[in-house]
Amino acid sequence: MPPTRSTIDPLPGDAHDTARATAARAGDDVRDVQEGQEERDGESLRGVDRTLGVLLAFSRETPTLGVTDLSERLGLTKSTIHRILRSLVAHGMATQDPETRAYSLGFRVLALAAGVPGEANLRQICLPHMQWLRTATDETIGLYVIAGDVRMCLEELESPQPLRMAAGVGRCFPLDAGASSKALLLAGEEANPDLWRRATGRESVERRARFEAGIADLRATGYTVTRGETVAGSASMAAPIRVGARNEVMAALSIAGPASRFGEAQVERYAPLLLEAVGRIARDLSALYGEAGGAGARPRAGSSRRK
């Protein structure tokens, strides 16, 4: 019986060339589609970034802004700002004064804030202990959390004294300066390398070394003190609020005031009060997040000499 032959005839040379060309065109078409999708995705992300930039431009210091203000602050054209604001108004995220034509945040923002996990519980639990600490020290008491690449003042009780320091609820500060920043970054580079790099990457070698030394001191004493790092003539001391079985830092509690009132004697007096307040907060938070492995440490003798 003769061997069976394939019924598929081999393609002639021209047909092979045609097939290769068709396959190449198909590959080019796929790449064009992918590149087009990537460009559209990139443009969409840029639009998101611009919209967030507009929202974040509003603050306690600048509750109302006009189109020109926003254009100059963000480096965007007025037409782009107009389009973004129209969309925000349509979604209730912004509102416009019919007389001044200026914009402010809308009430829909409050609904977003209410959806932050644990935020309301954290403030409610901390507030009575913050009030106790303010009464005990007569200085401004602040509660700070990490918000992206900055730290934000979540709650604040101002000192009753005429000369006082106040950050303002909602105000943000860099993570590479201030006692509260060190308390929030207590876990160090190992816990979150990306955040640590963004927070300290712009610092000089000398300043980064001082920052790390401050965190090492905090680990030993339970608190840290800084003077003039964020505002000239000011001083603050802070301790981390840690929760859960993994002892994670959830927030930082701070005492702030003029540097003239934060000498060694005052810091020695404030330190156990600060750690007591942090311990009470950690105890109350344990009902929600579980026991923390040590809310603070006893201050050591002479620890107030940190600068």
3-class secondary structure for the chain?
A: CCCCCCCCCCCCHHHHHHHHHHHHHHHHHHHHHHHHHHHHHHHHHHHHHHHHHHHHHCCCCCCEECHHHHHHHHCCCHHHHHHHHHHHHHCCCEEECCCCCCEEECCHHHHHHHCCCCHHHHHHHHHHHHHHHHHHHCCEEEEEEEECCEEEEEEEECCCCCCCCCCCCCCEEECCCCHHHHHHCCCCCCCCHHHHHHHHCCCCHHHHHHHHHHHHHHHHHCCEEEECCCCCCEEEEEEEEEECCCCEEEEEEEEEEEHHHCCHHHHHHHHHHHHHHHHHHHHHHHHHHCCCCCCCCCCCCCHHHCC
236 and 144 inside one domain: yes
- pLDDT confidence tier of residue 13, bands split at 50, 70 and 90: low
With a pLDDT cut of 70, the percent of the chain lying above it is: 76
Q: Quote the pLDDT of residue 302.
A: 41
170 and 299 inside one domain: yes
pLDDT digits (tens, 9 = 90+) for 191-219: 778 788 787 777 778 877 888 888 888 88
Q: Quote the pLDDT of residue 194.
A: 79
More confident residue, 164 or 118: 164
147 and 285 inside one domain: yes
122 and 227 inside one domain: yes
Q: Quote the pLDDT of residue 84.
A: 93
Range of the domain at 159: 116-305
- pLDDT confidence tier of residue 306, bands split at 50, 70 and 90: very low
42 and 179 inside one domain: no
- pLDDT confidence tier of residue 294, bands split at 50, 70 and 90: very low
Q: Looking at the domain assignment, is residue 14 inside a domain? A: no
Q: Quote the pLDDT of residue 54.
A: 92
pLDDT digits (tens, 9 = 90+) for 30-82: 566 555 566 666 677 888 889 999 998 888 778 899 999 999 999 999 999 99
pTM assigned to the model: 0.63
More confident residue, 193 or 236: 236
Q: Looking at the domain assignment, is residue 195 inside a domain? A: yes
80 and 205 inside one domain: no
Instruction: Please identify, among 71, 90, 111, the residue that sits at the C-terminal boundary of a domain.
Output: 111
Of the listed ranges 92-96, 117-121, 290-294, the least confidently predicted one is 290-294
> The domain spanning residue 292 has which CATH number?
3.30.450.40
Instruction: Please identify, among 77, 111, 145, the residue that sits at the C-terminal boundary of a domain.
Output: 111
- pLDDT confidence tier of residue 296, bands split at 50, 70 and 90: very low
* Closest residue by Cα to residue 299 from 238, 220, 233, 241: 220
With a pLDDT cut of 90, the percent of the chain lying above it is: 31
Q: Quote the pLDDT of residue 300.
A: 40
153 and 270 inside one domain: yes
pLDDT exceeds 70 at position 29 = no
Q: Looking at the domain assignment, is residue 23 inside a domain? A: no
pLDDT digits (tens, 9 = 90+) for 72-105: 999 999 999 999 999 998 888 888 888 888 999 8
